[in-house]
Amino acid sequence: MSRGVLLVLSLLTSAAATRASAQLVDGKPIYELHCRECHGVRGVPPQNMQVKYDRIATFDAAFIKRRRDDSIVTILTRGKGKNMKSFKDKLTPDEMISVAMYVRELAHKAKP
Ligand code: HEC
């Protein structure tokens, strides 16, 4: 095999490995457990949370257009403002990636 082919093969394998590790955990149960209370089942914060946290975002198409998965992971690592707490002691990096992907999925679903 030529070196070029080997290089391509090894790039493909490492990309697949990265994806596989992010998929090891399902984002949905993590979201239900840690995020749903404030952000709502479908990414629309319940009325009482909107009243309590006036800065809380709805996860919709306009929201997600301005963010990439890694910026959601950054928020989860560092927290934001005084009410969006850091999850770095509660979630592993893989779990943060998975839940960020789930937030993206929610944002693409039609809102009521
Ligand atoms: C205690 C309520 C609460 C919980 C629990 C919570 N959040 Fe938040 N979240 C907030 C509030 C309030 C904001 C708005 C923060 C601000 O902009 O000041 C926010 C903002 C965000 C943002 C938008 C940040 C930005 O870029 O503007 C994302 C993404 C987010 N939360 C994801 C999550 C995820 C994922 C979880 C679960 C792992 C979670 N949140 C759990 C209250 C919560």
Q: Print the domain residue range for 83.
A: 25-108
CATH number at residue 38: 1.10.760.10
C-alpha–C-alpha distance, residues 10 and 17, integer Å:
10
How many domains does the chain fold into?
Answer: 1
Residue to mutate (ligand 1; options 76, 80, 85; most atoms within 8 A of CB): 80
pLDDT means over runs of 10, the chain (112 residues)? 64 56 78 97 96 94 87 95 95 95 88 58
Nearest residue (CA) to ligand 1, atom 2:
38
List residues near ligand 1 (CB under 6 A): 34-35, 37-39, 53, 55-57, 67, 72, 75-76, 80-81, 83-84, 87, 99, 103
Cα 16 to Cα 90: distance, rounded to the nearest angstrom:
26
| Residue 99 forms part of a structural domain | yes
Cα–ligand 1 centroid distance for 1 (angstroms) = 50
Instruction: Specify the amino acid at residue 47.
Output: Q
Question: Could you tell me the distance, in angstroms and rounded to a whole number, from the CA of residue 22 to the centre of ligand 1?
Answer: 21
pLDDT of residue 66: 87
Residue 10 lies in a domain: no
